[in-house]
Amino acid sequence: MSDVFVNILKVAKFGKQIEKMAKKYKNKKIVIYGAGQFFQCIKDNYDLSSLNIVAVSDRKFLERKALTYDESIGFNTISPESIVDLEPDIVLIAVVEDYFIEQYIYEILFKECKKKFKYKMFVNLTLKQKMQRVWETF
């Protein structure tokens, strides 16, 4: 699976995307949503130190209401419901399949938290790249 993720990041020219995000979000608080294999691949292959990542959130951290450093993640972690407490400038979604995460954020988190936050995909693929990726899975 890791090779698939590495290829997605390579096709997306993710190194350049990080450079742009570092400029755009300089001194801004960033929360990463998604602490699975895709995020692990990003972390293992790219330097994220230019981004002000205050926490990584994932449903597997549902019990963590306060920031908790997680050695295996390498960042502070927090439950999705507690994202709004951090008042992030942006939440970057670090998953391959974004539909269900966006649905979860919009339909559950926003209603439970009574507050909204800005979010976008951490790795941006063009429509052509997304279509090629779908085609390759058949």
2-133: CATH topology is Rossmann fold (3.40.50)
**Side chain identity at residue 134, one-letter code:** V
User: Tens digits of per-residue pLDDT, 106-125?
Assistant: 888 888 777 788 888 898 76
Task: Tell which residue, 61, 34, 36, has the closest CA to residue 53.
Answer: 34
Is residue 133 pLDDT above 70, yes or no? no
On whether the CB atoms of residues 64 and 82 are closer than 8 A, the answer is yes
What does the domain layout of the chain look like in residue ranges?
2-133
DSSP state of 97: -
On whether the CB atoms of residues 58 and 77 are closer than 8 A, the answer is yes
- When comparing pLDDT for 17 and 100, which is higher? 17
Percentages (nearest 5) of helix, strand, coil residues in the chain: 50, 15, 35
DSSP state of 32: E
Mean pLDDT to the nearest integer, 66-92: 93
